[in-house]
Amino acid sequence: MKDRFREGVLRMRRSIRLAVCDDEAPVLSYLTDQIRKEFGKYDLCAEADIFISPVELEKVLREKSYDVYFLDIDMPKMNGLELARILREQREEIPLVFVSAREEYVFQSFEVHPFSFVRKSRFKQDMEKAVCDLSRRFCQENQAFCSIRDEAGRCYELPLADTLYLEARDKYVNVFVQRGQDFYVRNTLSNIEKMLEPEQFVRIHKSFVVNLRAVYAIKYEKVILDNGKELPLGRGRSEEVKRRFCRL
């Protein structure tokens, strides 16, 4: 049995477009590599364009836009704050992340409302948090896809709004969706369950995980979905499932 998926319902990876600007070439290279690695932890493929000066980046803005901008501040000819003002005039909501060794710029940066300020003295901690927050925002803005993996480590995107439930069948997990074609992933249900959004998906039976947003009612030993489909509810899971359903 092979994994089946419908294009548009399941994609291998998501990508996020980044512009990274720093006037020191070695720093720019290191910074870009680390940003890519951090986004990779959230199954986001970071497509980064690098710029050695704000002037160079400003020229590109006439033809291209990005999802996130990572900017140094203390740069010649035009500093990061000046570039940020230009970006704000074009797109007020675009996430700007300053990466600087000059921590005295933190308060001055507030005037352009940065998404985050990464201190080079605490680069690892600050960057981890910034990318985590950016990834969460990006997923929310892109209709919330949840990443799951098969046994080979391949990453797939599960459309949260369209996913009804998952069922364990032999060595595969069958994913049932509201629109499009159902598909299979070779893995255990327990492994897949750990990859799902805990606030939205719950184990209702040894063989079933359900999307709580697709549940119409819970009666006796059954979970009834909005489309009328009835799924078995394990006795030992009944109270927890009902509690989670009422809390949603």
Express each pLDDT in 100-131 by its tens digit. Answer: 999 898 999 999 999 999 999 999 999 999 99
Query: Are both 114 and 177 inside the same structural domain?
Result: no
Query: Are both 22 and 116 inside the same structural domain?
Result: yes
Per-residue confidence (pLDDT) for residue 137, from 0 to 100:
80
Identify the domain containing residue 152 by its residue range.
145-247
Query: Are both 100 and 214 inside the same structural domain?
Result: no
88: Cβ–Cβ under 8 A, 6 or more apart, which residues?
Answer: 94, 96, 112, 113
> How does DSSP classify residue 235?
G
Work out how many domains the chain is built from and give that number: 2
Q: Report the b/e string of 114-146 with b at 16+ CB within 10 A.
A: bbbbbbeeeeeebbeebbeebbeebbeeeeebb
User: What pLDDT, in 10s, does the model give residues 40-70?
Assistant: 888 788 889 999 999 999 998 877 888 899 9
Residue 7 lies in a domain: no
Residue 8 lies in a domain: no
Per-residue confidence (pLDDT) for residue 140, from 0 to 100:
63
Per-residue confidence (pLDDT) for residue 174, from 0 to 100:
94
- Bridge pairing between strands 14-21 and 68-71: parallel
Residue type at 172 in one-letter notation: Y
Q: Which of 79-83, 134-138, 185-189 shows the lowest mean pLDDT across its residues?
A: 134-138
Instruction: Choose among 213, 184, 189: nearest CA to 199.
Output: 213
For residue 113, give the H/E element and its range. Answer: none
Query: Are both 156 and 77 inside the same structural domain?
Result: no
Query: Are both 124 and 190 inside the same structural domain?
Result: no
Reported for 106-112, long-range contacts at CB under 8 A and 24+ positions apart, including other chains, are: 108/81, 109/73, 109/81, 109/84, 111/81, 112/81, 112/84, 112/85, 112/87, 112/88
Query: Are both 185 and 240 inside the same structural domain?
Result: yes
Instruction: Band the pLDDT of 144: cuts 50, 70, 90.
Output: low
Per-residue confidence (pLDDT) for residue 146, from 0 to 100:
75
Q: Considering only residues 180 and 101, tell me which one the structure prediction assigns the higher pLDDT.
A: 101
pLDDT at position 10 over 60? no
Query: Are both 133 and 186 inside the same structural domain?
Result: no
pLDDT at position 141 over 90? no
Query: Are both 49 and 100 inside the same structural domain?
Result: yes
Per-residue confidence (pLDDT) for residue 190, from 0 to 100:
94
Instruction: Band the pLDDT of 248: cuts 50, 70, 90.
Output: low
Residue type at 240 in one-letter notation: E
